[in-house]
Every structure is written in structure tokens, then in C-alpha cells.
Amino acid sequence: MNAETNRKRIRESLEVLEESVEKGLQDRQQTIGFSLSSASTHYLELFLHQLSLTDPGFILKHQWLKSQKQITTKLPFDFPCKQEILDLMASIEEKRNVLCYGRPQKVEVIQAVLEKFYELKKKFKEVGLEF
């Protein structure tokens, strides 16, 4: 996916997250789960393209982040704060299906996943992601 498409998808996910937070975390649990997962993967795709570590046709699949073995195979190269970024993304993906398909979660659970995402977003900014 090209960089501009990634940026567009990130903006869309961020808008949806903002709207969902305003409506209420528990009322928009599923939407929050999908948007966090989508934005996270698009941020990483954009960052990898920016570093010229992947070609424009590369698509990162959110499922890869659940498996350390799979993510190591799919992303064998190094990049700034790799382990920190992947750990944050794995923790977001760990809760994705619970938020998207599971029973209603406590506000604290949803808030904790949002905090991981905000930490991830900050980390991408620190390592120089041009958004």
C-alpha cells in the first residue's frame, strides 16, 4: 500500500476513534477495537515504507502481531525501537478480538488499550515517522 493511502487510512481511524471516545467507550467498543488495530498496522506500514524497508506493495496483516514467530519471519529487518513498537502493537492486537467480538468490557479495559495506542503513536513520532 502506498504512503498516501496509509496516511488516509490512519486519518480515518483517528477520526473514528475520536468520535467513538466522545460517544462512550462501552457504546463503541467494537469500533474502537477495529480502529486501534487498523491505525496501528497502517502506522507501522508507513514507517517501514519511510525507512525503505518494504516495497510499496507490502501489506502488514494485523494477525501477524499475535505471533512472535510470525512477526519475526515477516519483519526480519531491524528498525528504531523495533521491540518496543512490536510489543505495544501485540498488546493492542491481544485485545482486538475481545473488543470486536467479545462481551462488553469494563471501561478500564478499553481505556488501557487506548493508552497503549497513544503510547505507540507517541513512539512513532519519537522515531521520526513523517505523518
Q: Does some domain include residue 37?
A: yes
Q: Does some domain include residue 9?
A: yes
Domain that holds residue 29: 3-126
Contact 35, 16 (CB under 8 A): yes
DSSP assignment of 64-115: GGG-HHHHHHH--S--TTHHHHHHHHHHHHHHHHHHHHSSPPPHHHHHHHHH
Q: What is the pLDDT of residue 41?
A: 97
**29 in helix, strand or coil?**
helix
Q: What is the pLDDT of residue 57?
A: 84
Please state the domain count of the chain: 1
User: Measured between alpha carbons, how far is 107 from 113 in angstroms, rounded to an integer?
Assistant: 10
**85 Cβ contact partners less than 8 Å away, ≥ 6 residues apart:** 44, 47, 79, 120, 123, 124, 127
Contact 123, 81 (CB under 8 A): yes
* Residue spans of the chain under pLDDT 70: none
Indicate the angle between helix axes 29-50 and 3-23, nearest 10 degrees: 150
Tell me the whole-structure pTM to 2 decimals.
Answer: 0.94
Q: Does some domain include residue 131?
A: no
